[in-house]
Amino acid sequence: MDISWIPLSPSVIKYVEKFALSQAEKLAAKQADGMLARVYRKIVPDKRAEKANEAFVTRFAKELDSAMDLPTLQAETYKDALDQFLCNPTVQFLLLAPLDGTTELDSALLSGIWSSIGIGGEDALPPLPADFDWARVAKRYLEAILFT
Protein backbone atom coordinates (compact mmCIF):
# COMPACT_ATOMS: atom_id res chain seq x y z
CA MET A 1 0.00 0.00 0.00
CA ASP A 2 1.27 3.44 -0.85
CA ILE A 3 0.68 5.95 1.91
CA SER A 4 0.53 9.38 0.33
CA TRP A 5 2.29 11.65 2.78
CA ILE A 6 3.80 13.90 0.18
CA PRO A 7 3.58 16.78 -0.04
CA LEU A 8 4.29 17.40 3.61
CA SER A 9 1.47 18.64 5.73
CA PRO A 10 1.26 22.44 5.92
CA SER A 11 2.03 22.34 9.64
CA VAL A 12 5.36 20.60 9.01
CA ILE A 13 6.35 22.90 6.12
CA LYS A 14 5.71 25.94 8.31
CA TYR A 15 7.84 24.38 11.03
CA VAL A 16 10.71 23.68 8.63
CA GLU A 17 10.66 27.30 7.47
CA LYS A 18 10.50 28.53 11.07
CA PHE A 19 13.40 26.25 12.01
CA ALA A 20 15.54 27.58 9.13
CA LEU A 21 14.82 31.17 10.12
CA SER A 22 15.65 30.51 13.77
CA GLN A 23 18.95 28.90 12.76
CA ALA A 24 19.75 31.92 10.58
CA GLU A 25 19.00 34.26 13.48
CA LYS A 26 21.31 32.27 15.75
CA LEU A 27 24.05 32.51 13.15
CA ALA A 28 23.46 36.23 12.83
CA ALA A 29 24.18 36.70 16.50
CA LYS A 30 27.48 34.80 16.26
CA GLN A 31 29.04 35.57 12.89
CA ALA A 32 30.53 38.51 11.03
CA ASP A 33 28.30 40.10 8.40
CA GLY A 34 30.00 38.63 5.31
CA MET A 35 30.00 35.08 6.61
CA LEU A 36 26.46 35.46 7.89
CA ALA A 37 25.18 36.60 4.51
CA ARG A 38 26.60 33.50 2.78
CA VAL A 39 25.20 31.14 5.41
CA TYR A 40 21.82 32.87 5.49
CA ARG A 41 21.49 32.56 1.71
CA LYS A 42 22.24 28.85 2.01
CA ILE A 43 19.64 28.22 4.68
CA VAL A 44 16.64 30.41 4.00
CA PRO A 45 15.98 30.98 0.30
CA ASP A 46 16.32 27.50 -1.09
CA LYS A 47 13.94 24.62 -0.47
CA ARG A 48 16.59 22.11 0.58
CA ALA A 49 15.06 21.59 4.02
CA GLU A 50 11.64 20.92 2.52
CA LYS A 51 13.08 18.50 -0.03
CA ALA A 52 15.07 16.73 2.70
CA ASN A 53 11.90 16.28 4.75
CA GLU A 54 10.02 14.98 1.71
CA ALA A 55 12.82 12.49 1.02
CA PHE A 56 12.75 11.32 4.63
CA VAL A 57 8.96 10.96 4.68
CA THR A 58 9.07 8.91 1.48
CA ARG A 59 11.72 6.54 2.84
CA PHE A 60 9.99 6.31 6.23
CA ALA A 61 6.64 5.49 4.57
CA LYS A 62 8.16 2.79 2.36
CA GLU A 63 9.89 1.16 5.32
CA LEU A 64 6.73 1.37 7.42
CA ASP A 65 4.62 -0.16 4.64
CA SER A 66 7.02 -3.07 4.29
CA ALA A 67 7.15 -3.66 8.06
CA MET A 68 3.41 -3.42 8.83
CA ASP A 69 1.01 -6.33 8.67
CA LEU A 70 -2.12 -4.23 8.03
CA PRO A 71 -0.96 -0.81 6.83
CA THR A 72 -4.42 0.42 5.82
CA LEU A 73 -5.75 0.18 9.38
CA GLN A 74 -2.98 2.27 10.95
CA ALA A 75 -1.95 4.69 8.22
CA GLU A 76 -3.62 7.77 9.73
CA THR A 77 -2.14 7.10 13.17
CA TYR A 78 1.37 6.99 11.76
CA LYS A 79 0.81 10.02 9.54
CA ASP A 80 -0.09 12.12 12.57
CA ALA A 81 2.81 10.65 14.54
CA LEU A 82 5.26 11.45 11.74
CA ASP A 83 4.03 15.05 11.62
CA GLN A 84 4.68 15.33 15.36
CA PHE A 85 8.09 13.67 14.97
CA LEU A 86 9.16 16.05 12.19
CA CYS A 87 8.26 19.07 14.31
CA ASN A 88 10.97 18.15 16.81
CA PRO A 89 13.94 20.57 16.44
CA THR A 90 16.50 17.81 17.00
CA VAL A 91 14.93 15.71 14.26
CA GLN A 92 15.10 18.67 11.88
CA PHE A 93 18.73 19.25 12.77
CA LEU A 94 19.53 15.57 12.15
CA LEU A 95 17.72 15.53 8.80
CA LEU A 96 19.50 18.65 7.56
CA ALA A 97 23.00 17.70 8.75
CA PRO A 98 23.70 15.27 5.84
CA LEU A 99 23.06 18.05 3.33
CA ASP A 100 26.71 19.02 3.83
CA GLY A 101 27.66 15.85 1.93
CA THR A 102 29.83 14.39 4.69
CA THR A 103 27.60 13.85 7.74
CA GLU A 104 25.71 10.59 8.17
CA LEU A 105 22.13 10.46 9.37
CA ASP A 106 22.12 9.20 12.96
CA SER A 107 19.49 6.45 12.74
CA ALA A 108 20.01 5.36 16.35
CA LEU A 109 19.27 8.86 17.61
CA LEU A 110 16.19 9.14 15.39
CA SER A 111 14.97 5.82 16.75
CA GLY A 112 15.53 7.02 20.30
CA ILE A 113 13.67 10.25 19.67
CA TRP A 114 10.72 8.35 18.17
CA SER A 115 10.62 6.09 21.21
CA SER A 116 10.95 8.92 23.73
CA ILE A 117 8.46 11.46 22.37
CA GLY A 118 5.50 11.64 24.67
CA ILE A 119 6.37 8.62 26.79
CA GLY A 120 3.54 8.04 29.19
CA GLY A 121 1.52 10.96 27.87
CA GLU A 122 -1.36 11.49 25.51
CA ASP A 123 0.99 12.57 22.73
CA ALA A 124 3.06 9.38 22.76
CA LEU A 125 3.99 8.15 19.32
CA PRO A 126 2.78 4.67 18.41
CA PRO A 127 5.46 2.01 18.52
CA LEU A 128 6.88 1.06 15.17
CA PRO A 129 6.62 -2.54 13.93
CA ALA A 130 9.39 -4.87 15.08
CA ASP A 131 10.66 -5.20 11.49
CA PHE A 132 11.00 -1.42 11.02
CA ASP A 133 14.66 -0.72 10.20
CA TRP A 134 15.87 2.80 11.01
CA ALA A 135 19.28 2.06 9.50
CA ARG A 136 17.67 1.19 6.14
CA VAL A 137 15.62 4.41 6.28
CA ALA A 138 18.80 6.40 6.95
CA LYS A 139 20.67 4.69 4.10
CA ARG A 140 17.88 5.26 1.57
CA TYR A 141 17.45 8.85 2.78
CA LEU A 142 21.14 9.59 2.23
CA GLU A 143 20.98 8.07 -1.24
CA ALA A 144 17.98 10.22 -2.07
CA ILE A 145 19.40 13.54 -0.91
CA LEU A 146 22.95 13.06 -2.10
CA PHE A 147 22.36 11.50 -5.50
CA THR A 148 19.41 13.47 -6.82
pLDDT digits (tens, 9 = 90+) for 36-72: 555 555 555 457 888 899 999 999 999 998 888 765 5
Distance of CA 40 to the CA centre of its chain: 21
DSSP letter for each residue of 13-36: HHHHHHHHHHHHHHHHHHS-HHHH
- Whether the per-residue pLDDT at 116 is higher than 80: the answer is yes
Look at the pTM and tell me if it is higher than 0.75: no
| Residue 118, Ramachandran bin (φ over 0: left; ψ between -120 and 50: alpha; else beta) | left
- Whether the per-residue pLDDT at 146 is higher than 60: the answer is yes
- Identify the pLDDT of residue 57: 94
- In the Cβ-directed half-sphere of 147, how many Cα atoms lie within 13 Å? 6
pLDDT in tens, 63-109: 998 888 765 556 778 888 998 999 899 999 999 999 888 889 999 99
Contact, 77 vs 85, CB < 8 A?
Answer: no
